Structure 1
Amino acid sequence: MKKWTLSILLAALATVAAPAWAHGDAGHVPKPSAIKMEQKPWGIAGQPKARLRTIAVRMSDDMRFTPDKIDVKQGETIRFVLTNAGQVMHEYVLGTQPVLEEHAALMKRFPNMEHDEPYMAHVAPGQKGEIVWTFNRAGDFDFACLLPGHYEAGMAGKIKVVGLAN
């Protein structure tokens, strides 16, 4: 039901809304909004004022993230500082492999769709972005740039969240 509702909503927006260029090469200005505190299998949005660790991630036009493998401890809040060192727009999306693949397919159908989820950041060329995320569940998770062609070119990475008992 949730997928059906999302599909209808996206189709309606695509036909009646003015074009949104969130994925174009122009700078993306984030809309001010409250942080969505929705539990996901890979964690929940973190509070920027929480005690946290910062991890710098570089995005480049060779369709790679540096680093592309990240280890965190369960319960840890991470501030990802994302630098787009390339000449085209890139994004950083946290998730599970199935969620990322589903979203990548949607991006092919609706390449100009906008996002405001706390686990996604769009970063214009030469700019920086940020995500604050709390990894409150152990497991192996993923991140990727889901702009059409980027994910397929290998712009993805892994996050290993080590449980409290380990």
Structure 2
Amino acid sequence: MKYTNGMAALLLAALAAGAQAHGNAGHAARHHAPVAKEQKPWGIAGAASAVRRTIDIAMTDTMRFTPERIEVREGETVRLRVQNNGQVLHELVIGTRADLDAHAEMMARHPGMEHDEPHMTHVNAGASGEIVWNFNRPGEFDFACLIPGHYQAGMVGKIKVIARKESKR
């Protein structure tokens, strides 16, 4: 998504009015409001009632995820439960490498920008967050922490979505 200067100014004004930049307050509020389901190349927001598996992912201040590679089956809805074991804010954002590169560049230009989409979670130090996602497209995708400096330090991971045909072997 591209943001114009006017949109960025409006977003920053909303932050000044009381929103917490990259905080869990916005993340928690999202789960009480209907989630916008927009098809992405890597899938679509999932329904919590469809989750059959939870994958735990830890984030640390060494700028790493554990595990840094996960596999899911095409059509599977999973809960990615993310624990920040560090002392600073981290996030997990799912996307293609090109989408993550573009988003990281935007974050570098506007480091305090609030953004909250179903394919991302922002997690304060010592806290946890989650993403419920339906991986309805096969392929290899990425996840990353796009806090300025974290992505550049290698805080990235891979998601392999195994095609239905492959998973029946």
Q: Same fold (TM over 0.5)?
A: yes
Q: Secondary structure at the match of 1:161?
A: strand
Which residue is equivalent to 1:105? 105
What displacement does 1:96 show?
0.3
Give a deviation string over 1:108-149, Cα, whole Å, max 9, x none.
111111122000100000001010000000000000000000
Give a deviation string over 1:37-75, Cα, whole Å, max 9, x none.
110000000100114210000000000000000011100
Structure 2: 5+ residue stretches without partners: none
Instruction: Give the whole-Å Cα distance in 2 for the aligned partners of 1:16 and 1:121.
Output: 22
Q: Does 1:159 align with 2:156?
A: no
Instruction: Give the whole-Å Cα distance in 1 for the aligned partners of 2:69 and 2:12.
Output: 39
Q: CA RMSD in A?
A: 1.6
Bigger helix fraction = 2
Q: Which amino acid is 1:61 matched to?
A: D
Instruction: Give the whole-Å Cα distance in 2 for the aligned partners of 1:117 and 1:141.
Output: 17
Residues paired across the two proteins, number: 160
- Identity level (%): 54
Matches within 5 A, 1:58-73: 58-73=58-73
Residue range with higher mean Cα deviation, 32-41 or 8-17:
8-17
Q: Is the 8 A contact 1:77 1:134 kept in 2?
A: yes
Structure 1: 5+ residue stretches without partners: none
